[in-house]
Amino acid sequence: MNRIAFRALIAVPLLLLFLSIPSIALADGITWNLTGVTFADGGTASGSFVYDAVTNTVSSIDIVTTFGTVFGGTTYTALDPGFLPPLPDDIVVVPNSSLSDFTGTFVLDLSLAAPLTNAGGIVSMAGLGGEYTCADVGCTAPNLDIYRLMTAGEVVATPVATPEPSALLLLGVGLGVLLIAAKRLQA
């Protein structure tokens, strides 16, 4: 048996084995939705954000709070630059992250009972979060003179199914490669 034929007999089954092993699908960040979030002053919070546990990043923030006896409604669209990076169990957001002075800017602290993951599920609020204003230029400290505590709520996410190649499809491709290699050996 010549050397090329011997290599083909070894390489094709190894290729077939490699192609027939399904890959592990990793999800990118998933969307977490606020549900039932209420404050002690009667206000509520709703909306969503995308959290990626692999890179520990938050994006696509769209959260709205409603009027209560302490605060008016605010729309949050950015991470608080004073509390970066976000923690998997504490995400702090502001209406606009491009300000040069955050003093007096509204802040929403989503303090969670468990870390967020890319597996989705339901995570309750820890009871330590709330809405307040920034106490300094960089928004590194809260002004707790005016504060409303979160009393209930959770974030809910359904993981996005990441398609992966079917094992049968990969097996078929491997068999096709094997047939082509066999025809080349006969020629």
Q: Give the residue extent of every domain in the chain.
A: 3-24+164-186, 30-157
Which residues, other chains included, contact 175 with Cβ-Cβ below 8 Å and sequence gap of 6+? Answer: 16
DSSP string, 50-99: EEETTTTEEEEEEEEE---SS---EEE-EE-GGGPSPBTTEEEEES-TT-
> In this predicted structure, what is the pLDDT of residue 12?
59
Taking the C-alpha atoms of residue 48 and residue 44, their distance in angstroms, rounded to an integer, is 13
The pLDDT profile of the chain, 187 residues, written as one tens digit per residue, is 555 555 555 655 655 555 555 544 445 789 999 999 999 999 999 999 999 999 999 999 999 999 999 888 999 999 998 887 888 899 999 999 899 999 999 999 999 999 999 999 999 998 789 999 999 999 988 888 889 999 999 999 987 665 555 666 666 777 777 778 777 777 6
Q: Does the model's pTM come out above 0.95?
A: no
